Every structure is written in structure tokens, then in C-alpha cells.
Copies of this chain bind each other. A is one copy, B any other.
Amino acid sequence: MATEKSEKQQPKASKPKAEPKGSERRVGPVIGIDLGGTNMQVGIVGPDDKLLARAKRKTKAEEGLNAILDRIVQAIEECRRESKVRLTDLAGLGIGAPGAVDPHEGVVLEAVNLRWNDVPLAELLSDRLGIPCFVDNDVNAAIYGENQLGAGQQSDNVLGVWVGTGIGGGLILNRKLFYGHYLTAGEIGHMILFPNNPPGSRSLEHNCSRTAVVERVQKLMRANRKSSILEMVGGDWDKVRSKTLAKAYQEGDELAIEVVDDAADMLGVAIGSIVTLLSLERVVLGGGLTEAMGQPFVDRVQKQTRRFAFPDRCKRVQVVASELEDDAGLMGAAMIARDRISG
């Protein structure tokens, strides 16, 4: 596969690469990290793709960069103790960060949740750990993980859509993560769904994220729409969470079904357009809202996606739920590190 990657495409490690050990083509254990605005998930992944250990920490972005790096190193130590993997046995580290990332230079260009701009994360981690470190966008890492080990089934052309607080996306085209000219490809949450809506209500994220769905339910309850949700939250609509909504949805609550199904339909329209544009064979849905709503939600998105996909042959596209769920990000980050090390 090495011949397929151009100089520009092939992201580089911030430190000298680990040499392959003689005829042994497999790479040693790698660290995978999913760095979120609220929590970080850290794991050590063995050469057989098994998660040997995992640790979780609060991100606490408000404490600043060094405090975050300290907590990453602590979480790695915890994983090393649990798995008995020595630091010298670790082949490298991959980390997915929320926001725009330069994977070639290992720099987080802009991460609003973390209040970061132009942070050379790969270099900083490599200085602390002495192993090659690689950075990518968090949803890129998740879809890479799914495509290697989960619902992506090693498809050539696959879109990942993570529906949570916002909506993130990642693209694998011709079997590789696609970054685009400005390295920001996959930002599907900011695609325009309703051009004629007022500002703040035009994009996919504005209409179909967990945030948007919960707000719509609250708004309709305030306008006196009846729903079992109101009872579940003891009359306090500010307490509506996606779990409440999921329970109501599964129990047949009319309002929950109307709002969630509408979001699924709108998601399907947007995904259908992307399938038309890119002739994709597979779409993987992940994120908090997808996990809470489950298979009926995914099925509905697939139905609508196929309705709008063009031409007919694209209607064979599969829309499936994430299989790795919470582990997608860290497993994918680990796979990215491993694949970059083994070139």
C-alpha cells in the first residue's frame, strides 16, 4: 500500500519512526486517545487489535494545555500498569482531537471546545513520551476505527456521521482518510439543509443534532404539546436529556416519535445528497443521539438516504450503526498510529 501514498498525503510522525523489526511486519502495542471537550478516553491496543487496557479522565479544558497533557500521561500510566506493557514496548500513539487538525504536521489548528489554536500536539506528546505521536480529527479517527474493525467493513468509500451535541463527519475515499485542501473535509454538520430558513436554523447541525432535537421537544412542550416526557422529568423541561427522549421514543410517545423521526428524515436527505455526490457504498452513524435511539433511528435514516440517492445503483448504499460505539475514537486513533508507523 505504501506506493499509493504521495509525499503530501502521507502524514509524518513528529519523531523518527520505529523501525520494523526484521521480517516481523506487525507493529507493537499502540496508544489510542479520544480527546473530547468533556472527557478523554485512553487505551492501549495490542497487535491483534485487542484493547489491553483503558482509562478515562475529565478533560478540564479550562485548566489549560499543560494540565491536559499531564492527565493524558497519567491515563497512559494507568493503562500501562493494567496491561503490563512497558513504555519501551509501545510503538506509538494516536490521538483524535475535536476540531480542525493538520494530520501531516500533527498540529491542532483550532479546537473551540478546548480553546486551542495551533497547538503542536504530536510534538508535545512525543517530547513527553519519547514515542512517535500522530494527531487526527476525532470523527476521522472514529470512522477509521469503524472501517478497520467495526461497521465500516473495510469499505473503499465510506462516510461517518456522528450525531451528538453537534454533528461531525469523516470521509474515507479510495480506502484512505480524505482531508481536502484546507484539511477540514467532513464537516457535514455545517452543510446547508434549509437555505431559506433564518440564520441559525439552516444547517444540518442546527436541525438534527441532539441539541436541536432536545430543544425542539422542550419548545413544543412549552407550547402545551402533550408528552410522557414531561412526567419523566417531573415537569422540568430543562431536564430533558437524550436518554429521556429515547425512553419516550421507545415507549411510543407521539411527540418524541414526531421530533426524532423528523430529525432522522432530514439527516437522510443530507446523507442521500452526499451519497449522490460521492457514490458511497456505506455510511456509519455514531454519536450520542444514534446510540440512544438505536436501530429504528438508523433504519429510518437509511430509508430516507436511499430515497434521495441518485442514480438507482446508489440506492444500494448501506446505512449502519457504529459497532465500536464509545471505543470508536480511541481504537481508530490507535489504528491511525499503527498504520502510519508501518507506512
Residues of A within 8 A of B (CB): 3-6, 8-9, 100, 110, 155-157, 169, 171, 173-175, 178-188, 190-196, 266, 269-270, 272-274, 276-281, 308, 310-311, 313-314, 316
A182 CB contact (under 8 Å) in B175, B196, B279:
B279
Sort A-B residue pairs by CB-CB distance and give the 4 closest, nearest first: A180-B279, A181-B281, A190-B310, A191-B273
Please state if A179 and B279 are interface contacts (CB–CB under 8 Å).
yes
Known: A4-B4, A4-B6, A173-B173. A277 touches B195 (CB 8 A): no
Query: Quick one: closest B residue to A186, CB to CB?
Result: B277
Please state if A277 and B188 are interface contacts (CB–CB under 8 Å).
yes
Please state if A314 and B269 are interface contacts (CB–CB under 8 Å).
no
Please state if B190 and A281 are interface contacts (CB–CB under 8 Å).
no
Please state if A277 and B279 are interface contacts (CB–CB under 8 Å).
no
In the assembled complex, the CB of A274 is this many whole angstroms from the nearest CB of chain B, namely: 7
Please state if A174 and B277 are interface contacts (CB–CB under 8 Å).
no
Query: Quick one: closest B residue to A109, CB to CB?
Result: B313
Main secondary structure of the interface of A (DSSP, over half): loop
Contacts of A280 on B, CB cut-off 8 Å?
180-181
Please state if A311 and B192 are interface contacts (CB–CB under 8 Å).
no
A184 CB contact (under 8 Å) in B169, B179, B190, B314:
B314
Contacts of A272 on B, CB cut-off 8 Å?
192
Taking A9-B174, A191-B277 as known contacts, 20 extra A-B pairs with beta carbons closer than 8 A to each other, sorted by chain A number, are A4-B4, A157-B180, A157-B181, A174-B178, A182-B279, A182-B311, A182-B313, A182-B316, A184-B279, A185-B277, A187-B279, A188-B276, A190-B276, A190-B310, A190-B311, A192-B269, A193-B195, A194-B195, A195-B266, A195-B269
Contacts of A308 on B, CB cut-off 8 Å?
192
Cα-based distance from A179 to B279 in the complex (angstroms): 7
In the assembled complex, the CB of A249 is this many whole angstroms from the nearest CB of chain B, namely: 22
Please state if B4 and A191 are interface contacts (CB–CB under 8 Å).
no
Cα-based distance from A312 to B277 in the complex (angstroms): 23
Listed by A's residue number, 28 A-B pairs whose Cβ atoms lie within 8 Å are A4-B5, A8-B156, A9-B174, A156-B181, A157-B181, A169-B277, A171-B277, A179-B279, A180-B279, A180-B280, A181-B281, A182-B281, A182-B313, A182-B316, A183-B279, A184-B276, A184-B279, A184-B314, A185-B277, A185-B278, A187-B279, A187-B311, A190-B310, A192-B269, A193-B195, A195-B266, A195-B269, A277-B277
Please state if B110 and A311 are interface contacts (CB–CB under 8 Å).
yes
Contacts of A270 on B, CB cut-off 8 Å?
192
Known: A155-B181, A173-B173, A181-B281. A276 touches B191 (CB 8 A): yes
